[in-house]
Amino acid sequence: MSNPTTTGPLSPVDVTVVVGSYNRAAMLAETIESLTALDTSLPGGGEFTYEIVAIDNASTDETQEVIRRFAASERIGSAERVRGFYEAEPGVTHARNRGLAESVGEWIAFHDDDQRAHPLWLAKLQELARRRNVKVVGGAVHLSLPVTNTRKLAPACRVLLGEKVGWTEEQPYTRKRIPGTNNLMLHRSVLQDVGVFDVRIKDGGEDADLYRRIRTAGYEAWYTPEAIVYHLIPEQRLAAEYMKWTATRHGQHLALREYKEWGRAKLAGMIALRAVQAGGSYLPRYFVAIMSGQREKALGKRALLWRSQAYLARAWSLVRKGDADTGAQDASLNLREGREKLIHGAANAN
C-alpha cells in the first residue's frame, strides 16, 4: 500500500509525522483527522510543512481502507500529503522503523494511533527546537478518559496510562524524566547517529532504549507542556488488572534500562535501595489507604508495588544471569542503511 495520488519524486517537507497502527481502524481515523488539521504557523512569523506517513502493521481490520481514504483525498487540511504503507513484520519497532524508512522530512515526529493531536502540537515542537537550538524535543500527554468516568485516578495510575503528571514547566529531559515516542520529534541526523529502533525489543521499552542512546551520544533534549496530545483511554484500561499489567511492564523495562546503563554492580546496589523503598514507603502507605477506605489512592500505591516487584525480579535475574540480548542496536545501522534493510526505501515507493 502506498499513496496512489503521488507520482515521481516527493516534494521536501520540514516534518514527517510517523503513525503506526494495528487493528485500530476507528481510532486511527480520528488520529489522522486531527493530524491533518494542524496549525503550521510559527511564533514570530513563518510556517513549516509536514506530511503524514501511516503504517498498517499487519492489521486484519479496516486499517488499510482508512489510510487509503486519507491518502486519496484531494482535501487533507494543512498536511502536504498522507502516505500509507503496509508492514508485514508485527511489532511497534518494525512499524516505526518502516515509517522512518519512508520518511522524507528533515525532522521526524512520532504519534500513536490512539491519540488526537492538539492543533498547535507540531508548531510548539518546532518552535521549541528552533528557540533552544536542539535536535530532540517532546511534549505533554493528557488523558482523554471515557465520558462515563467519575473516578479521580491516583497520580501513579495516570502515569501508567501515559500522562506526564507534574510536568508543568518547560524543562530538559533527564535520566529519570524521559520522553515517549507518542510525543517526540527528532532531527534526522540524530537517528543517523544513534540508529533506529531496536527490533529485538519485543515487549515495550523501545522508546526508553532509543532515548538512552540519544543521551549517551550527548544530545540535549527538551520538553514543553504546550505541545499536547490527548491519549484516548478506553474503559477497560481503568481496571486494576490493566494497571497491574502495565505496572509490571514499567518495572521490567526500568530494570533493563538501568542494567544497560549501569551494569551488574550498580544495579545490584539499586535492588537494595528499591526494596527498601517498596517495603518502607509504598507498602505502609498502601495499607493506610486500604484501612481509610481510599480506593483510588490504594490502587495507586498498589501499582507502585506491582512496578517495584517486577523491577526487583527482573533486576535480580539480570544481576545473576545477565541478558545476551540487551545490547543497543549497532549505531552503524543509521537511517540510510536502515532504509536499505527495511524492505524498500521511499525512493522506490511510488
C-alpha neighbours within 13 Å on the C-beta side of residue 142: 13
For residue 2, what pLDDT is reported? 53
Grid coordinates in use for 220?
A: 540535549
Q: What is the mean pLDDT of residues 274-287?
A: 95
Name, in order, each residue with C-beta under 8 angstroms of 133's C-beta and a sequence gap of 6 or more: none
Give me the torsion for CA of 183, 189, 195, 199, rounded to 10°.
40
Rounded CA-CA distance 221/172 in Å is 6
The CA distance from 345 to 216, in Å, is 28
Residue 293 burial by CB count (10 A; 0-12/13-18/19+): exposed, middle or buried?
exposed
* Max Cα distance, the chain (Å): 68
pLDDT band at 324 (very low <50, low <70, confident <90, very high): very low
Beta strands in the chain (DSSP E): 15-21, 50-56, 82-86, 107-111, 115-117, 136-144, 171-172, 183-187, 221-232
Residue 348: CB atoms within 10 A of its CB come to 9
Spatial separation of the C-alpha atoms in residues 201 and 213, rounded to whole Å: 14
Residue 343 predicted with pLDDT over 80: no
pLDDT score, position 183: 97
Segment 220-239 mean pLDDT = 96
CB–CB of 271/319 below 8 Å? Answer: yes
Instruction: Considering only CA atoms, give the Rg of the chain.
Output: 21
Mean pLDDT of 321-347: 45
pTM for the structure as a whole: 0.86
pLDDT attached to residue 323: 66
Three cell numbers, residue 57: 502493521
Model confidence at 37: pLDDT above 50: yes
Going by pLDDT thresholds of 50, 70 and 90, the confidence category of residue 330 is very low
pLDDT in tens, 247-264: 999 999 999 889 988 899
**Mean pLDDT computed over every residue of the chain:** 89
CB 162 within 8 A of CB 79: no
Which tens digits make up the pLDDT trace of 105-155? Answer: 999 999 999 999 999 999 999 999 999 999 999 999 999 999 999 999 999
Amino acid residing at 295: R
Q: Is the pLDDT of residue 329 over 70?
A: no
Tally DSSP H helices, then E strands, for the chain. 12, 9
Flag whether pLDDT at 4 surpasses 50.
Answer: no
Q: What's residue 98's pLDDT? A: 96
pLDDT category, 45, cuts 50, 70, 90? confident
- Quote the pLDDT of residue 1: 63
| Model confidence pLDDT, tens digit, residues 158-172 | 999 999 999 999 999
DSSP string, 159-205: HHTT--TT--S-EE--SSS---TTEEEEEHHHHHHH-S--TT--SS-
Residues 315 and 158: their CA atoms lie apart, in Å, by: 25
Cell numbers for 156: 501513579
Question: pLDDT grade, residue 321 (50/70/90)?
Answer: confident
By DSSP bridging, strand 15-21 and strand 50-56 are parallel
Amino acid 224: pLDDT: 98
